[in-house]
Chain A
Amino acid sequence: MDPFFLIGVIVCAVSAVLCIGAGVLRRPPNDITILSIAAVELLLLAYTVGAVIRQLAGEPVLGEAWEFWGYLLTALLVPVGAFWWAILEKTRWSNFVLGAAGLTVFVMLFRMEQIWDGVAGL
């Protein structure tokens, strides 16, 4: 199992649970939820670097490479967009927005893993 993928889905899941939990507790976004979404973005950056190195080192994407990179570049924008949208109005709902971003990246990581392994789909 790909460690980048494993660590990625764990970071996303933890971030989503923290953010949704904070929303349920009626808290506005705070350091914890904002840092958790920052961790998702950092993770994605590390994943990107890792993917470049692995592909250059001769570990090709078995599915469509450009589809993989399309997902990855889009995923990189999701936490940034969610952060911007969330801090424009800081209420408990901002935390749900951040949680939704974590879940979205979580799903996208799954799809990227499928493409890398050449599992058909879409």
Chain B
Amino acid sequence: MSRSEHGAVPAAPAPEGAGRASGPGRLLIAVYGVFALAATARAAFQIATKFDQAPLAYLLSAFAAVVYVVATVSLARPGARAYRVSVVAVTTELVGVIAVGLLSVLDAQAFPSETVWSAFGRGYGFVPLLLPVLGLLWLRRNRPARA
């Protein structure tokens, strides 16, 4: 079952939990990092320039930014505690993108299609909807040894 990464012998057994930031996890964390950067910049811009136009949406923008930052950092860090934090962050992200996606479709007034999660992340090629699903699958495959 183990289709090892051919040739080179792995130097040492990976420290506990390090598997999360390895292999496909590196790409996952990189994409999370890009979204953390994008969401933070966008929320800062919106709140600084036009907060009173749609306060709820822009507060949600800021919330999304925090979730992405926490998810990025906790996915990249080893250990059982970081694992639990990342499960919470990625789950929050999934709930958020679905809830905001639904609300933005039902009440377009409160959500001008301007937050990362509006219309299920359509403005970002639906990557915001795909990312937490892949994240949770990845976390499930990389559970720490002791539950």
Contacts and interface: CB of A to CB of B under 8 A. Distances in A.
Interface of A: 64, 67, 70, 74, 78, 81-82, 85-86, 89, 91, 93-94, 96-97, 100-101, 104, 122
B133 interface: no
B108 interface: no
Contacts of A86: 26
Contact of A67 (B30, B37, B45, B114): B45
B5 A100 contact: no
- Interface secondary structure of A, over-half rule: helix
A78 B45 CA distance: 19
Interface residues of B, number: 20
Given A89-B26, A93-B24, A122 B31 contact: no
A101 B41 CA distance: 17
B27 A91 contact: no
Given A74-B37, A81-B33, A91-B5, A122 B23 contact: no
A122 B24 contact: no
Contacts of A100: 27, 30-31, 34
Nearest to B25: A93
A70 B33 contact: no
